[in-house]
Amino acid sequence: MGNDGGSIPTRRELVKNAARTKTTAELKETTTESQTHAWTFCPLSLTALTTPIVSDTSGTLYNKDAILKFLLPQDDNVPASLIKEKENILGGRVKSLKDVVEVKFTVSKEGREEIRVCPITSKELGPNTKAVYLVPCGHAYSEVAVREVSADACVECAEPYAVENIIPILPLAKDNIERLKARAAKLQEEGLSHSLKKVGGKKRKKGAEKNEFEQGEAKKAKENVKTEKKAESGIKNAATASITNKVLEEQEARNKRQKFGLNDNLKSLFSSSGYQAQKGGDFLTRGYSMGKKT
């Protein structure tokens, strides 16, 4: 470079060009991309958001299984940097399942694709529509619909709610973010969690909190074992009862025979009415008789 009639850009010129202010259109495009990603992927697991979806006091959306895995004791082979990264994402807002609320979206099918919609306005809930959910029920609506209806109970389940418990989903406005922070601080002072449940209670031992899915599977397995044992017990009882009935029947028949005496063959050897019942005598007296001596 040089001696060719060209110019060499200085560092000042390079930095100046790189640090130029973005236009309104560029800022809007960047915000839309960021919101689309937040509406599509869980920040903890980096996987697609799938039901059940939960949210914390900040209005961020997570996969419920990702929250459960975070709350469980971590394996020794999990890198400390990864754990630290997840803690930074949550920002200390989630310490138990009481600190999240399951967000219940109304889903509409358009061909093979499923979209989340507001049950009142039928608008698609996403990066282009301001959405909220209610605590404690968790039903999601568009912000406009909740403002226009202005009710004190959920339209879907009739669960009552207060105005301060209308939580914006993935808020961008500074006033909404500050309002959610103030609400979280107030709940903490009152000893309540995001779901409005009391914080504390019985302390669990370390490692006692299990995955809900595993608990459900274990419960089903126990029920199946009980059912099998019950069925097996019923079969055994039925067999025992059958054998017992047969034994009782045989014993009853034997008792009858003893009661009525001898069988027919033995009975024919004796007279039925005494020693002199027959002229000729019975089997034991029948035959020749010895004459008297003179």
Three-state secondary structure readout of 164-188: HHEEECCCCCHHHHHHHHHHHHHHH
- Per-residue confidence (pLDDT) for residue 224, from 0 to 100: 60
Q: What mean pLDDT is predicted for residues 217-223?
A: 62
Asked whether residue 149 carries a pLDDT value surpassing 60, the answer given is: yes
CB 94 within 8 A of CB 100: yes
- When pLDDT is cut at 50, 70 and 90, the band that residue 250 belongs to is confident
For residues 50 and 211, the model is more confident at: 50
| Percent of the chain residues past pLDDT 90, beyond the cut | 48
- Per-residue confidence (pLDDT) for residue 105, from 0 to 100: 96
User: Helix, strand or coil for residue 275?
Assistant: coil
Lowest mean pLDDT among 53-57, 76-80, 102-106, 239-243: 239-243
Q: What mean pLDDT is predicted for residues 98-124?
A: 92
Spatial distance between the Cα atoms of 170 and 43, rounded to a whole number of angstroms? 12
Asked whether residue 4 carries a pLDDT value surpassing 70, the answer given is: no
pLDDT digits (tens, 9 = 90+) for 254-272: 666 665 554 555 555 555 5
User: Helix, strand or coil for residue 102?
Assistant: strand
Provide the sign of the torsion angle of the four alpha carbons 109, 115, 118, 124, taken in this order: negative
Sequence-ordered list of residues with C-beta below 8 angstroms from that of 210, at least 6 positions apart, any chain: 72
Which amino acid, 293?
K
- Per-residue confidence (pLDDT) for residue 122, from 0 to 100: 92
pLDDT digits (tens, 9 = 90+) for 12-23: 666 665 556 777
- Per-residue confidence (pLDDT) for residue 80, from 0 to 100: 87
Residue-averaged pLDDT of the chain: 79
- Per-residue confidence (pLDDT) for residue 145, from 0 to 100: 93
pLDDT digits (tens, 9 = 90+) for 229-243: 555 555 456 666 666
Residue 284 tokens read as 């034991």
Cα 43–chain centre separation: 22
